Amino acid sequence: MLEFISYAFNKLVEVTGLGDFSLEDIYLFIGAVQIVLLVELITVKWEKSALRKIIRFDKSTRTDLIFWLTEVFNVFNLIAFILTLGVAYYLSGLIQNSLDLKLGSYVTNPPLQFFIIYVISDLNAYFSHWLFHVIRPLWKLHEWHHSATDFTVLTRYRGHFVEMSLKRFIDVIPFVLLGASIQTYFAFKLFKELHGLLVHSNIRSSWGFVGKFILVSPAAHRVHHSIKPEHYGKNFGNTLIIWDRIFNTYCESDDTDVLGVPDNPYNSKGFLADTFIGMGRFFKGIFSSK
């Protein structure tokens, strides 16, 4: 019996990544947030800064902060594993073991390898993001991310545990097909982290030409979170805005103030209640068209 418990625990640590907890992860999540909070503070000043909103600790900000802490202390995957009974992680592991081709190893130049993996991964992320908007049950999970009524930089981490588990099936594909060196993966993760924090900040810059044709700008992503009907289904890009240009989902940035979702059921009953509200809406979306 003890041997089984020990095996089960070790397997849980392996699949959820608890054994990968390290100071480097803490430095990444805390350091990146500090950098972006400082940049935002300098840019928009105290009154409009995320730092002020975090200190005020309103209901929407609390959710963002809790999600960030689950990332910092590496327990997000554990909670996701429990809520999905481990099924998503098991199937994701099967995909990784069967498709681990490491095609990227044929590209020996590190900068070129990073570029190829990043572009393919970003296209994959655009497709994944689009799916979670157009398929009703998936949207019912993803809307928790959109339920934030204001950006706090930490809004970047808000996302339902079940959503992140399901997204593993799609997000893992580029890496299991192409593979990546440790250096390439870290550079990918760092750039994605900093950019994700910036576009969820209160900086409203459109970044000029770069924001129109290359990278998703804070202003463009703010449009994506807008509650205005004319902004629905726009600006799905993860870091590269070119996919929105190619697939005709690009929307010119404007000074959008009202964020969130219609008839917002979140941010009022607490983090735990919101977790199960999201799961309930997901299952209802599967069996009902209303």
- Distance between alpha carbon 138 and the CA centroid of its chain, in Å? 14
**Nearest Cα to Cα of residue 166 among 282, 10, 288, 11:** 282
Weakest-pLDDT range from 13-22, 50-59, 81-90: 13-22
267 to 55, 63, 67, 221: CA distances (angstroms): 17, 7, 13, 21
105-139 tens-digit pLDDT: 666 777 777 788 888 889 999 999 999 999 999 99
250-256 contacts, C-beta under 8 A, 24 or more apart = 250/220, 251/220, 251/223, 253/206, 253/211, 253/217, 253/219, 253/220, 253/222, 253/223, 254/219, 254/223, 255/204, 255/219, 256/222, 256/223, 256/225, 256/226, 256/228, 256/231
Q: pTM here?
A: 0.84
36 to 42, 46, 197: CA distances (angstroms): 10, 14, 7
The answer, yes or no, to whether residue 47 has pLDDT greater than 70, is: yes
Residue 43: pLDDT band (50, 70, 90) is very high
Q: How far apart are the C-alpha atoms of 251 and 154, rounded to whole Å?
A: 24
283 to 20, 277, 279: CA distances (angstroms): 32, 10, 6
Q: What is the pLDDT of residue 7?
A: 42
**186 token code pair:** 């870290």
The answer, yes or no, to whether residue 180 has pLDDT greater than 60, is: no
Q: How far apart are the C-alpha atoms of 163 and 278, rounded to whole Å?
A: 10
**30 token code pair:** 């805390």
Domain-wise residue ranges, the chain: 2-203+260-287
Q: How far apart are the C-alpha atoms of 243 and 126, rounded to whole Å?
A: 7
57-78 tens-digit pLDDT: 888 899 999 999 988 887 887 8
The answer, yes or no, to whether residue 99 has pLDDT greater than 50, is: yes
Q: How far apart are the C-alpha atoms of 133 and 131, rounded to whole Å?
A: 5
* Helix residue ranges per DSSP H, 45-75: 50-56, 59-72
For residue 105, what is the DSSP state? G
